[in-house]
Amino acid sequence: MAGKPTVGIYSFTGCEGCSLMILECEDQLLDVLELVEIVNFREGMDKIADQVDVAFVDGAVSTSHDIQELLEVRKNAKIVVALGACAWPGGLNVMKNFQDQEDVRRYVYGDKWAAYDAIPARPIDRVVKVDYYIRGCPIDRDEFLEVTQAILMGRAPNIPNHPVCVECKLSDNPCRFDFGEVCLGPLARAGCKAICPSFGTKCEGCRGMVDEPATQAHRGVLEKYGLSVDDMMREYRLFGGWFWGGDLGVPDLPERATSK
Amino acid sequence: MPDVNINVHHITRLEGHGNIVVNTKNGEIEELRLEIVESPRFFEAMLRGRKWDEATHITCRICGICSCGHTTASLNALENWAGIEPSSQTKKLRKLLFNGEQIQSHVLHVLYLAAPDFLGVGSVIPLIETHKEVVLIALRLKRLGNDLCCLVGGRHVHPIAAAVNGFTKLPKLADLVALRPRLEAARADLAAVVGVLQTLTLPQFERETEYVALNQTEGNGEYPWQWGDSILSSEAGLIPLEEYRSVTNEYLVDHSVAKHTKHKRDSYMVGALSRVNLHYDKLHPAAKQVAEALGLSVPTHNPFMINLAQVVETVHAVAHSLQMIDELEAAGLREEDRSVPVKAGTGIGAADVPRGILFHEYSMDETGTLTGSNLVIPTGQNLANIENDMRALVPQILDRPQEEVRHLCEMLVRAYDPCISCATHALEVDFI
């Protein structure tokens, strides 16, 4: 990338908390702004340009309008980064996919349900090609800075591929299973500094799983504590439902093949 | 008088997606809408079938900016359901979490999102060159708010440790006490912010409306935003919290995926200015001094003054946090019983979060599984009022260039600090 790379930050179906986490890098924000120029960030500024070198995208795709707009973002960006669990793998939004879709819409909009655009929620990489993933609900500030730095330097980002249990042990946290909780730490990808167990609650698996999860070992843990695979699936469906029956057989869009 | 034809697609410096449409002909308004075009998220539907102890971590995800506020309202509702009165220690810690978010949210709005309007630029970024001192103050204050939340809740965006009837992990008292010098320094920083704000001119515009805020009939005179047992209206006086639906009266409009509300008039206002108008006497003396210095005398009917009311509340939150830390230090922190009786029933809770009064209501079966919920969001309650303000404002400024009319309309919407993700992510339906 020649000159100061330009950056856009875009929000789809989500709480925009991951965009906000960027602003929460208070100590580094001014340094980051020395290195890149933010030109498109509706939440924080008047727009300067449509074309960007790097597009950070938070939020899932859950309306047909989202699809059109995301394709536009991809067309205008050299690099697309999925920002947070809603962008990938869909996060909490996918919980609605486990219910009857018409009933979900009727429950909220009553008789006018059909007037409001809604499709099953899906990760953004079902619509466009994604180049980098920053995981979590919300994202981890340090990981955002790591991935940003890697993109600017043209190197691969350093993303942990070990389970949250490792970070928990390093932090000397008591095991959540001993408190009768169904913790996803044995399978969930670390990189969050085991923040939830460190603050006294189970890991909810918001960063997805490691690449080759030790499912047999996890099964052993569940058996030891008298828990079932169903108990674990229930937990996984909070943030990772897409991989546990929430994908509803949604095919890749034909447009995806032609997106960069 | 030239006709105005304004169509702002996706208003910037605003949480969520909104459009402004204004058309006038021969000085008359033909069309005027604040369109809300956010993707709905169906939280109430998604909550069905989840357990009571998941409700808070799920609903806080409605909003990244006010997730501590959603957490607070959710816990208030769950404790109402379980029939629990949390301990004094829990209440004080929650107040710190809540104050931390008020500080960070108000600072984000006033100094990052609204200030560029008053200084004639498109974002906070050019201000790094022209007003570096103010930008550094904004970063420091926001960081302080975040750190307060992190210390008590583990995280500002989607806090972890705040649970029904207590905290899953208590902060270290020494860490809380260590915040004291930073809170003291924040007072000086805020004084500098007030100095800058005194040099700016807000648009002159007034429209009286109904003001609505949370209230404590059995409180101890505290500014009632973290918890309340009733609703105070400038038109109708006190309404019991359980009757909140008689205040909100939600209805669908075609141009918004977020429902509108009305009570005694066509619309009402919630949020910082509404609270300051209704509860001025309960503000910390330091906050009242700032209100005076900024020329904010109550009741104020100029919605652009919301920006100043937020600064007043930030001063209050800083002073109140110092008081909470003093009280916690005197009492010491101890592990407490956090048990929760599970039963079939309903719980209603509210909190007056940065953008206004927020209601959470849950229904549970005997296993503690959610069977229904209702969430009424501050921004949804303000939408009709913003439109009514705009309808009154536009005819007064039609002699100005269209670009200026457009900018003032945007500034008006922005003054309310709307959080559109919230308003559309939590639509209600009658379930009881």
Contact B427 A108 (CB under 8 A): yes
pLDDT digits (tens, 9 = 90+) for B40-76: 888 999 999 999 999 999 999 999 999 999 999 999 9
How does B24-57 read in b/e, with b if 16+ C-beta sit within 10 Å? beeeeeeebbbbbbbbbbbbbbbbbebebebbbb
pLDDT at A28: 85
Verify that A89 and A147 share a domain, yes or no.
yes
Q: Decide if B4 is inside a domain.
A: no
Q: Decide if A259 is inside a domain.
A: no
Coil/strand/helix, residue B325: helix
pLDDT at A2: 58
Verify that A59 and A125 share a domain, yes or no.
yes
pLDDT digits (tens, 9 = 90+) for B129-149: 899 999 999 999 999 999 999
pLDDT digits (tens, 9 = 90+) for B164-196: 999 999 999 999 999 999 999 999 999 999 999
Residue B51 corresponds to which amino acid?
A: K
Verify that A101 and A37 share a domain, yes or no.
yes
**CATH number reported for the structural domain that contains residue B346 in this entry:** 1.10.645.10
Tell me the pLDDT of chain B averaged across its residues. 93
**CATH number reported for the structural domain that contains residue A70 in this entry:** 3.40.50.700
pLDDT at B430: 32
Verify that A238 and A119 share a domain, yes or no.
no
pLDDT at B8 over 70: yes
Chain A residue whose CA is closest to B256: A116
Q: Decide if B385 is inside a domain.
A: no
pLDDT at B263: 94
Q: Decide if A181 is inside a domain.
A: yes
Contact A107 B42 (CB under 8 A): yes
- Interface ipTM: 0.94
Domain that holds residue B290: 43-378
CA distance A31 to A41: 18
Residue A229: pLDDT band (50, 70, 90) is confident
Q: What is the DSSP letter of A84?
A: S
Chain A residue whose CA is closest to B112: A44
How is residue B119 written in tokens? Answer: 């200084």
pLDDT at B421 over 80: no
B chain contacts of residue A9, beta-carbon cutoff 8 Å: none
Check residues A98 and A113 and name the one with the higher pLDDT: A98
pLDDT at B252: 84
**Number of separate domains in chain A:** 2
Q: Decide if B1 is inside a domain.
A: no
- Spell out where B171-235 has E strands: 210-215, 230-233
Q: Looking at the partner chain, which of A18, A41, A201 has a beta carbon nearest the beta carbon of B160?
A: A201
pLDDT at B154: 97
Verify that A112 and A131 share a domain, yes or no.
yes
The residues facing A71 across adjacent strands are none
How is residue A199 written in tokens? Answer: 């603050």
Verify that A23 and A111 share a domain, yes or no.
yes
Q: Decide if A106 is inside a domain.
A: yes
Query: Which of B404, B398, B412 minimizes the C-alpha distance to B304?
Result: B412
Verify that A153 and A221 share a domain, yes or no.
no
Q: Decide if B83 is inside a domain.
A: yes
pLDDT at A109: 80
pLDDT at A260 over 60: no
Domain that holds residue A67: 6-158
**Number of separate domains in chain B:** 1
Mutate to test the interface with B, among A64, A83, A104, A108 (most CBs of B within 10 A): A108
pLDDT at B259: 83
